[in-house]
Amino acid sequence: MKTYLVTGVAGFIGSAISRKLLENGHKVVGIDNFSTGFHHNIPDDVEFFEVDISEANQLKTLNNFTFNAVLHLAAQTSGEISFDDPPKDLLINALGTLNLLEYCKDHKINRFLYASSMAVYGDVEDKPISISQHTNPKSYYGITKLAGEQYVQAFSDRIKTTSFRIFNVYGPGQNMQNIKQGMISIYLYYFMKNKPVLVKGSKDRFRDFIYIDDVVSAWTKAIDEPKAYGAIYNLGSGVKTTVEELLKLIAKKWGDPEHSIEYTEGTPKDMFGIQADTKPIMKDLDWKPETDIEEGLSQFIKWVKDLSD
């Protein structure tokens, strides 16, 4: 049995990874400050502490533990919101990551996994994007996630690090009330409320959607995989889906093919389209995405409909 620290344990991805680690027989200590996370997301067996990662002294709460690895997912996670309060985004995403790395160094914690984002790329060509692509983030969120990633790299001579540039994650457990983060969850919100879907930007934009279980399996496989030490990976499905295709699929699977859609101005500095080159992560981790968008949407919609019953 190993002991892991999961930051952002009350959030969508942090809670799902923690659940899997517990299922695999490990101990999970979790921290969160509930800025977007929820108490009810935290799995029962997690030993939880309310900690704000941007306050280094609050990490002292964890001094009695010896961690085998830190899985760092806590963040301000919305590109749109990063423009409302840029200093806060910087404090949480950049300083918060630095605080955790310093904590690892001081406590001789030798493994650190970091949730970076596809937002570090900015606008790119319409082809699968590899990790060697020049980074040029458009949103403050992308800038601070890249700063976090670069702090992680700066510690990689002392700590075994792995960063995942995560693409668009969706699936059960996602926050269905936050209409500023998560393209699929935002569109499903309008179906759930039986309101016209408000699409911010062009229907020709495209994304690479990855189902939550595939994200969890990549993270858990990477923890003890030496090939992942020091690596930065794209974590996506490798499949491109346009907004128009997505909306048609959702409408069909929801059972409301005529659902009304309204297009409005895009959000500031939104990326037009991006798709991951996933060859390196598939090879190194012997991992592949198991759930395609058709199946993933069916699972997600079933969960959303059960919620509203």
How near is the Cβ of 167 to ligand NAD at its closest, in Å? Answer: 6
- DSSP state string for 75-115: S---HHHHTT-HHHHHIIIIIHHHHHHHHHHHTT--EEEEE
As a whole number of angstroms, the distance between CA 102 and CA 284 comes to: 28
Percent helix, percent strand, percent coil in the chain, to nearest 5:
40, 20, 40
As a whole number of angstroms, the distance between CA 117 and CA 140 comes to: 12
Is residue 115 part of the contact set for ligand NAD (CB under 6 A)? yes
Q: Which of 73, 231, 232, 239 forms a contact with ligand NAD (CB under 6 A)?
A: 73
Indicate the residue among 162 and 259 with the shorter CB distance to ligand NAD: 162
Amino acid at 189: Y
Q: Which of 34, 39, 60, 245 forms a contact with ligand NAD (CB under 6 A)?
A: 34
Only segment of 49-57, 194-202, 278-286, 291-299 that touches ligand NAD (CB under 6 A): 49-57
Tell me which of 114, 121, 141, 233 is the catalytic residue.
141
Helix (H, G, I), strand (E, B) or coil at 257: coil
Cα four-point dihedral sign 248, 254, 256, 259:
negative
Only segment of 10-18, 150-158, 192-200, 257-265 that touches ligand NAD (CB under 6 A): 10-18
How near is the Cβ of 200 to ligand NAD at its closest, in Å? Answer: 16
As a whole number of angstroms, the distance between CA 299 and CA 297 comes to: 5
* CB-CB contact of 25 with 41 (8 Å): no
Is residue 241 part of the contact set for ligand NAD (CB under 6 A)? no
Is residue 10 part of the contact set for ligand NAD (CB under 6 A)? yes
Q: Which of 96, 128, 236, 238 forms a contact with ligand NAD (CB under 6 A)?
A: 96
As a whole number of angstroms, the distance between CA 288 and CA 214 comes to: 8
| Rg of the chain (C-alpha set) | 19
263 part of the active site: no
* CB-CB contact of 57 with 36 (8 Å): no
Is residue 237 part of the contact set for ligand NAD (CB under 6 A)? no
Query: How many other C-beta atoms can be found within 10 angstroms of the C-beta atom of residue 258?
Result: 6
Indicate the residue among 181 and 259 with the shorter CB distance to ligand NAD: 181
Amino acid at 155: F
Only segment of 8-16, 195-203, 265-273, 278-286 that touches ligand NAD (CB under 6 A): 8-16
Only segment of 166-174, 258-266, 287-295, 300-308 that touches ligand NAD (CB under 6 A): 166-174
Which residues does the annotation mark as catalytic?
141
Q: Which residues bind ligand NAD (CB under 6 A)?
A: 8, 10-14, 31-37, 51-54, 73-77, 92, 96, 115, 117, 145, 166, 168-169, 175, 182
